Amino acid sequence: MSKPSLARGTRDFGPEQMAKRNFIFDTIRRYFQRYGFLPLETPAFENLSVLMGKYGEEGDQLLFKILNSGDFSSKLEEKDWNEGYKPLTSKISEKGLRYDLTVPFARHVVMNRGTLAMPFKRYQIQPVWRADRPQKGRYREFYQCDADVVGTDSLLCEAEIVLLLHDILPELGITDFTVKINNRKVLTGIADLIGAQGMEGPLCVAIDKLDKIGKQKVEEELTDRGFSENSITLLAPVFDLSAAKDPFLALKNWLGSSETGMQGVAELEEVWNLVDKLGLKNPKIELDVTLARGLSYYTGAIFEVKANGVQIGSISGGGRYDNLTGTFGVPGISGVGISLGVDRIYDVLEELNLFPQNQTTSTKVMLSNFDRQAFEYGLSVLPKLRLAGINAELYPDSVKLKKQLDYADRKNIPYVVLIGSDEMGSGLLTLKNMKTGDQEKLSVDDIIARIA
């Protein structure tokens, strides 16, 4: 008999970890709803026709494909086996696990566009799967927490994302963070300005590494990618813009001849203006013209959030996309969204010891069980505690008190109610504080008042 094992790149989460994860999920969900986002869930697997071709060639390879049910090989001929894995996959697999929450969301919008109230604001908190090589901080199954608005071009949506992040992160305990913002149009304008039209993709792949490898290595990579010496010289201002006293003014002076670039600057300025009018005090936002995440996907604003003081990558990211549903034959539906990385947020809270202590407690009070009579008495008390909103349980077996108290201690149950013959006779039960060891005689109503 083989030993049980976990599939690589997956994890179990025990009760203590789940209490912490639920704290994160519940906080994020509460603020998503406060900002008017409606809940949505999509199936764990989609037709491959929905998923394939949406994430590039590399993404297609990272999709978990599901074998067709039944005798999936019965209709295959010898030539099918010899054609290679890609043609073969399409003949033995019609479905795959979702790779992200965005493509299923786009599919849902297209299928239900006649019944959705536009603009449509949705949030989604579900696991996704990627057949990636597992390593520290990278898993094959992980959760995404997405919030998107589709059906509007209004920059109010970008400003509200900034406010949403400023509500969620401090509520989780993360107060030292930076929301970095850029705009795809600014990046296009830079590429045009340095004579590298249409090359913003490789340009931004390189400059996105600035904080990791430094200016000199970025310039070397640009040379390797085919950029001329003159283009690299003209690019020089990009490395100092974020540190400028007035980065918007510096950006305008530099991109003045690029209509697309200036449009991007105007959109960024409007986001800053709306954030101010919405009353956010001391916003932790920063213009970062080297930010280029998801370049092939985003068409406007680009967001990335860093928790300062910890060696962990971005904990949130997102941006504006102008053609979310175009791949499904319904072009022109613009949207903007943000995704929060639960696993990285968890790591930040662990490293900085920011989880509230009470997140590890599920049961608040346990009733003891000395004998059949005490058990029957406990059965009458238990519903009263639960009705008062107190998490409570009755120890199921009549065993020695030490074993019962050890159980309560291992579960971090803060209170135990001892029910013996004296307690049943007087109606005053013994409430034991498991942390201090103190005991006192109280009525059921007083116990409820004390604990609640």
Give the Cα separation of 365 and 385 in Å (integer). Answer: 9
Q: Distance (Å, rounded) from C-alpha 215 to C-alpha 224?
A: 14
To 10 degrees, what angle do helices 247-255 and 184-193 make?
Answer: 40
Report the distance separating Cα 159 and Cα 275, nearest Å.
5
Dihedral (CA of 397, 398, 400, 405) sign = positive
Run of H or E residues at 284: none
Per the annotation, does 371 bind a ligand? Answer: no
Peptide bond into 119 cis (omega under 30): yes
Question: Helix, strand or coil for residue 170?
Answer: helix
Is 299 assigned a ligand-binding role in the annotation?
Answer: no
144 among the known binding-site residues?
A: yes
Which SS3 state, helix, strand or coil, does residue 441 take? Answer: strand
Indicate the SS3 state at residue 126. strand
Identity of the residue numbered 218:
V
Is position 297 annotated in a ligand binding site? yes
CA dist list (Å): 428 to 28, 129, 447: 42, 54, 10
CA 150 to CA 291: how far, in whole Å?
A: 23
| Cα angle: 360, vertex 409, 422; to 5 degrees | 125
**Is 260 marked within a binding site?**
no
Contact, 53 vs 60, CB < 8 A? yes
* Contact between residue 352 and residue 410 where contact means Cβ atoms under 8 Å apart: no
Alpha helices in 210-301 (DSSP H): 210-224, 229-234, 247-255, 259-277
On whether 148 is known to bind a ligand per the annotation, the reply is yes
Please name the residues in contact with 49: beta carbons below 8 A apart, sequence gap of 6 or more: none
- State the Cα–Cα distance between residues 348 and 177, nearest whole angstrom: 11
Chain-centre distance of CA 275, in angstroms?
23
The candidate with the shortest Cα–Cα distance to 261, out of 250, 275, 276, 251, is 251
Strand runs labelled E in 213-309 = 285-287, 301-307
Strand pairing report for 335-340 and 316-321: antiparallel
Asked if residue 156 belongs to a known ligand binding site, the reply is no
Tokens 């989609």, residue?
A: 46
Q: How many CB atoms lie within 10 A of CB 285?
A: 18
C-alpha distances out from residue 125 to 39, 167, 207, 340, Å: 8, 18, 32, 10
Please give, one letter per residue, the 3-state secondary structure of 144-203. Answer: EEEEEEECCCCCHHHHHHHHHHHHHHHHHCCCCEEEEEEEHHHHHHHHHHCCCCCCHHHH
Binding residues, by number, are: 100-102, 130, 144, 148, 293, 297-298
Binding residues for L-histidine, by number, are: 100-102, 130, 144, 148, 293, 297-298
